[in-house]
Amino acid sequence: MSHDGWQTRYLMSFMGGAIGGGIGNVTLNFNTAKSTGDMTFQKASQELVYMLRNPKELQSFRKMINNDTLGNKYLSATKTVTDENGNIIGYEQGTKDDNQDKYIKDLINK
């Protein structure tokens, strides 16, 4: 087994994936942004009602939400860091059960 050029193979594989994934993601984001720009409050309300009345749509939405990152996974959602005057200056380090991403997802999935 030869290891000649393995760095080049991995680099090319990485670049191909980054370019291909980037193009696909840009297209998806462009189409989403384009349709969102035309969205009125009434249209958004109709989409929401449609989703709530169709369990498959709601399930698909929840699956998409749970697969995405909505908040910081490394910061606590409930514990803050304060200065000597009691002013909140940030959040403590998060844990598996207490992080901002999990907190947001739990609120959505209720």
| Cα distance between residue 106 and residue 77, in whole Å | 11
- Best mean pLDDT range from 9-18, 30-39, 79-88: 79-88
Query: 96: Cβ–Cβ under 8 A, 6 or more apart, which residues?
Result: 102
pLDDT of residue 26: 44
pLDDT classification of 24: cutoffs 50, 70, 90: very low
pTM, entire model: 0.52
Determine the pLDDT at residue 34: 52
